[in-house]
Amino acid sequence: MTTYNTSDFRKGLKVQIDGVPYLMVEMNFRKPGKGNALYECKMKNLIRGTLLDRTYRAGQTLEAADVTEFTSQFLYRQMDTFVFMNITTYEQYELSKEQVGDAWMFLKDGMECSLMVYNNNPLAVTPPNHVILKVEYAEPTARGNTATNVQKPVKLETGAEIGVPPFVNTGDWIRVDTRTGEYIERTKAPEE
């Protein structure tokens, strides 16, 4: 089993504490006037999603978590279950609505995503940073409303609702940033 020394600690590191996988979301190095250096870490439990604060002294080690990430394809949604397939082994994984989180807003059938798995159990999914989605419904815009930064809500083909500029209409294709859920630009229909 691989271990990480405190000098290897960094944001994004996946470690195992008491048999549970954690993601290091924050790491601060502190050198007090006397004594050893301290590594203050904030870690996210990859199974439950809770946060944990731990402080380590220089020279301590943590086990690496057996967490793998690979490219998968979103197949379909059935009620509150989302089904993904590993594109190299064709193995299928089911994730709950809680595991998928807000990513459901951007998932289209056949879309490639990054799937995180621990001991062959799926933990989380990450869609591409930008996706192109069709506007299913947009309220008509009142003429003359040209104020800057005005936004109107639209419903996308995935069922999600986001704010867009007034010139976006029903049937338009838009590019959305999946990390923030924000409109980027109006675009052409994707090549199928």
Task: Indicate whether 139 and 120 sit together in one domain.
Answer: no
Provide the whole-model pTM: 0.75
Q: What CATH number has the domain bearing residue 180? A: 2.40.50.140
Q: Give the structural domain span for 9.
A: 3-64
Residue 41 CA, distance from chain mean position: 21
Task: Indicate whether 92 and 76 sit together in one domain.
Answer: yes
Task: Tell me the two tokens of residue 26.
Answer: 């924050």
Q: Which of 41, 64, 87 is the last residue of a domain?
A: 64
Smallest Cα–Cα separation from 38: which of 77, 73, 80, 9? 9
Task: Indicate whether 71 and 121 sit together in one domain.
Answer: yes
In a domain, 142, yes or no: yes
Task: Indicate whether 89 and 119 sit together in one domain.
Answer: yes
Distance CA 137, CA 135 (A): 6
Task: Indicate whether 78 and 98 sit together in one domain.
Answer: yes
pLDDT digits (tens, 9 = 90+) for 128-173: 999 999 999 988 876 665 666 778 889 999 888 999 988 888 999 9
In a domain, 116, yes or no: yes
Distance CA 52, CA 144 (A): 52
In a domain, 31, yes or no: yes
Task: Tell me the two tokens of residue 73.
Answer: 């394809």
Residue 157 φ/ψ, nearest 5 degrees: -60, -20
